[in-house]
Structure 1
Amino acid sequence: MKKSLSLTIAIPIKNEEKLLQGCIDAIGTDFAEKIIILDSGSTDGSLEIASRNKIEVLDFKWNGQFPKKRNWFLQDHTPSTKWVLFLDADEYLSESFKSEIRENIKNDNLVGFWLTYTRYFLGKKMKGGYPLRKLALFRVGAGEYEKIEENNWSTLDMEIHEHPVLEGQIGTIKSEIDHLDFRGISHYIIKHNEYASWEAERFVKMIENKSIDQQWTWKQKIKYKLMQTPFIGPAFFLGSYFLLGGFRDGSRGLAFSILKASYFTQIYCKIEELKLEKNKK
């Protein structure tokens, strides 16, 4: 049997009984030293699944301000292991991913890793389009997620598009984590409407802080520049569908690129709406 890594896997959830057991099974029993579930008041069978698998559950109640769920965990329940991985319930670890982690985590010069995820749309894996990447694996104590003061303007109790701000060199894991979200188009649209509202609120508050862009990655800098124009939607479509091969997925690729372009256009419109409201005050 392989020795478990000095790694805590934190799984933030709320009503994830349909996905959670599969996520836990994919982790396995000899990969991570500890698994912890961060729960936001689940009312389904999620907690029974945690209990059946003898997994510790931390109950998170958000007061609408900083910190949100992931930073709360890092600050108030700091893992005793060397590494922490934040994993959503619809993200399943592959054997190739776990093997690559075992090799790369030995590098003492790295403090974190960018992870890559598969993407599914209309029931099938996507071949093209923008890759889904997150900085979700890092050394405990190397940093935490961006500090964004919300003061009750969001309904999202967990860091969504915030990146961890780490001190040190960051590597990349090439093997993909399977992102198996099959909750349908209605869920996708509702979720992205919430994300768009958050992105717009965040942007309007960020431009008031002249120094915050020093923490941005180059991708974030391009994104926030484009957010100030209605070209952000078309720009995403052109990049996703043509430059990054979304056309390889046929009609699904076209529909997905249109939906995502609409999402970014929605962010722009919500930003303009917030500016109008602010000018009226």
Structure 2
Amino acid sequence: MTEKLPVTIAIPVKNEAANLARCLDRLGQFAEIVVIDSGSDDATCEIAKSYGARVSNFRWDGKYPKKRNWFLMNEPPTQPWVLFLDADEFIDQAFCDALKLALQDETKDAYWLCYTNHFLGKPLRFGLAQRKLALFRTGKALYEKIDEDGWSTLDMEIHEHPIVEGPIGEIAAPIDHRDYKGLGKFIEKHRDYALWEARRYAKLAENPSSQAHFTDRQMFKYRHLAKWWYPWFYFCFTYFAKLGMLDGGAGFHYAAYKSWYFQSIRLLIQEQSADR
């Protein structure tokens, strides 16, 4: 038998029965699979167990830690590496081959991963590429700690990044990300994210030293997030400079909705400031 990759795949879920089997179908080469469930009331847990995955049951109390950090701190991976994967993210053999090579590099402690997003039923080949720091050595990273007591309803780290103790590389082979459950769900999700971002912006203003670990991209975003031009800058950058126009109508609408998202954050920040 082929030796399995020494990686724990950790999949945070809630009611992901529609996607989970397809995701798990691609994971036969990995040594451990853990599904971290937040009280699903569909067949998510049964599907996970049918594939031999370890199921961890998470209940958030509204405080630190949230879902990913809770798993790392309380029911940690058994493998030397951990890869966080969403149920609607699907890997292929090209990614597994690239991952196998990356794991042989003893100088790296984490890797940025690349994704192919889909919108309105079409893959987005251009525009601002999605990247996540979702693969790292077990014990070498935790996600950012953010004071969310009393103001956040999101039980999983969303825009928080892992803080890694060591050098970081990148795996270029993309993961197929089909995060599309209809336009209504897309809008609802980004409404929740906008509320979270506006509240986090206020928290960062109270404690600027908490930005010390930010990436360059994070620093740019939070430095300019409340400025009037930022949503239009995002649209022009992703649609023109990053050639999102080549994705046709899907590329235009995606850039437009993301600009609406950043405009919503800006107005929420203004609203919060007026209330203080």
Same fold (TM over 0.5): yes
The answer on whether the counterparts of 1:111 and 1:170 sit within 8 Å (CA) in structure 2 is yes
Cα displacement (A) at 1:211: 1.0
Q: In the aligned structure 2, how far is the partner of 1:80 from the partner of 1:46?
A: 22
Give 1:1-281 correspondences, 5 Å limit.
1-28=1-28, 31-277=29-275, 279=276
SS in 2 for 1:119: strand
Q: 2:223 and 2:49 mapped to 1: Cα distance?
A: 46
Measured after TM superposition, the shift of residue 251 of structure 1 is 2.0
Instruction: Describe the SS at the equivalent of 1:220.
Output: helix
Larger CA deviation: 176-185 vs 238-247 = 176-185
Deviant stretches of 4+, over 3 Å: none
For structure 2, the residue ranges without an aligned partner over 5 or more in a row are: none
Identity %, equivalent residues = 43
For 1:27 and 1:54, locate their aligned partners in 2 and report how far apart those are by CA, in whole Å. Answer: 11
Is the contact made by 1:83 and 1:138 (CA closer than 8 Å) also made in structure 2?
yes
Deviations 1:131-179 (A, max 9, x none): 0110000001112000001002111100000000001110000000000
TM-score (norm 2): 0.98
Q: Which amino acid letter does the alignment assign opposite residue 215 of structure 2?
A: T
- Partner SS for 1:27: coil
Shift of 1:237: 0.2
CA distance in structure 2 between the aligned counterparts of 1:210 and 1:259, rounded to whole angstroms? 29
Q: 1:62, 1:131 → 2: CA distance? A: 31
Asked whether the equivalents of residues 27 and 92 of structure 1 are also in contact (C-alpha less than 8 Å), the reply is no
- TM-score, normalization: structure 1? 0.96
- CA drift of 1:96 comes to 0.3
CA distance in 1, matches of 2:52, 2:264: 43
Deviation at 1:122, TM superposition (A): 0.7
What is the CA-CA distance between 1:72 and the residue it aligns to?
Answer: 0.3
Would you say the 8 A contact 2:12–2:86 is kept in 1?
yes
List per-residue Cα deviations over 1:232-258 (Å, max 9, x = no partner).
Answer: 110100100000001101222111111
Counterpart CA distance in 2 for 1:90 and 1:210 is 35
Structure 2: distance between partners of 1:182 and 1:228: 28
Larger displacement relative to structure 2 (208-217 or 58-67): 208-217
Residue range with higher mean Cα deviation, 164-173 or 268-277: 268-277
After TM superposition, give the deviation of residue 6 of structure 1 in Å.
1.6
Residues 170-199 of structure 1, C-alpha deviations (whole Å, 9 max, x = no match): 000000000012311111000000001111
* 8 Å CA contact retained: 1:85, 1:138: yes
- 1:18 alignment partner, SS class: helix
What SS is found at the alignment partner of 2:26?
A: helix
Please report the RMSD computed on the Cα atoms of aligned residues, expressed in angstroms: 0.9
Q: Deviations over 1:41-80 (max 9, x none)?
A: 0001111111211211111000001000000001111212
- The letter of the residue matching 1:107 is D
Cα deviation for residue 228 of structure 1 reads 2.1
